[in-house]
């Protein structure tokens, strides 16, 4: 008489009846090679079968090979999807840049392209969007076009960005801010400080030093030689 022994966590059976079904199947067929684990066990588990005389031992184990292959397959699919999304974004950006090239001045387009390439972490509006709605960007143009702001932390990139906004300002007829106008504008945008003159003045000076380069002359908006050719 065949004795069936099940080793392992019985919670991995698809149902309580599955335990009796596998025992009956073995006793009826007496051929362990016919056992199909997925008929009795949950997904990801299988029987390791061992036979000793009239005793058959069924050990429940994870299908490690199948799980590994499945994980690798999912990982590859995720990589492929991310690559496709990157390609789609790149293709979309190329199309937008080509369209923009047809609608804005060559000099503006070149400067914006260089900003996207070398100072892409600095948020700069697209030239066609600025020209379509200049009032929305007026303050930004007058401030950044002044050449006094430390924007990216890199002198050449700051000069490039300032040159871009200065050209927009000239095109739109917006006068860029002087150092005094810029400081006054920034004071207006700062949160109100306590009415202690000494404390308020000290705080204002510290905040301004974070943004304004008082040693920069108004000519600092000239094109950086390593990034932009002369417009003349």
Q: Using one digit for the tens of pLDDT, what is the confidence trace for 201-230?
A: 333 332 334 444 444 443 444 444 455 554
Cα separation, 21 vs 67, whole angstroms: 26
pLDDT for the residue 136: 92
Q: Is 173 exposed, middle or buried (0-12, 13-18, 19+ CB in 10 A)?
A: exposed
Q: Which of 146, 166, 156 is nearest to 115 (CA)?
A: 156
Per the confidence metrics, is the pTM higher than 0.85? no
18-22, 118-122, 168-172: least confidently modelled range: 118-122
CB 151 within 8 A of CB 157: yes
Average pLDDT (29-38) is 83
Is a pLDDT exceeding 70 seen at residue 158? yes
The ranges assigned to domains in the chain are 3-62, 65-103, 105-221
Q: Which of 7, 2, 43, 53 is nearest to 25 (CA)?
A: 2
Q: Which of 6, 1, 19 is nearest to 57 (CA)?
A: 6
Long-range (24+ apart) CB contacts under 8 A made by 65-70 are none
DSSP string computed for 48-90:
EEEEETTEEEEEEEE-HHHHHHHHHHHHHHHHHHHHHHHHHHH
- How far out from the chain centre does Cα 102 lie? 29
Give 92's pLDDT tier (boundaries 50, 70, 90). low
CB 50 within 8 A of CB 31: no
Cα separation, 40 vs 204, whole angstroms: 75
Average pLDDT (144-160) is 84
């Amino acid at each position: 008489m065949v004795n069936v022994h099940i080793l392992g966590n019985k919670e991995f059976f698809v149902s309580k009846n599955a335990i009796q079904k596998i025992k009956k199947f073995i006793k009826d067929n007496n051929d362990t090679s016919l056992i199909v684990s997925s008929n009795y066990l949950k997904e990801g588990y299988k029987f390791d079968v061992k036979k000793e005389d009239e005793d058959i031992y069924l050990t429940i184990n994870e299908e490690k090979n199948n799980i590994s292959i499945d994980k690798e397959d999912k990982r590859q699919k995720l990589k492929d999807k991310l690559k496709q999304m990157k390609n789609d974004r790149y293709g979309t950006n190329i199309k937008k840049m080509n369209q923009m090239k047809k609608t804005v001045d060559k000099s503006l387009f070149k400067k914006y392209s260089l900003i996207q390439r070398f100072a892409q972490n600095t948020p700069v509006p697209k030239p066609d969007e600025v020209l379509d709605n200049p009032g929305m960007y007026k303050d930004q143009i007058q401030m950044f076009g002044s050449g006094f702001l430390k924007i990216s932390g890199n002198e050449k990139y700051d000069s490039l960005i300032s040159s871009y906004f200065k050209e927009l300002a000239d095109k739109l007829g917006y006068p860029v801010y002087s150092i005094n106008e810029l400081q006054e504008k920034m004071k207006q945008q700062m949160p109100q400080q306590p009415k202690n003159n000494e404390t308020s003045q000290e705080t204002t000076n510290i905040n301004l030093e974070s943004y304004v380069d008082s040693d920069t002359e108004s000519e600092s908006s000239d094109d950086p030689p390593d990034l932009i050719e002369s417009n003349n």
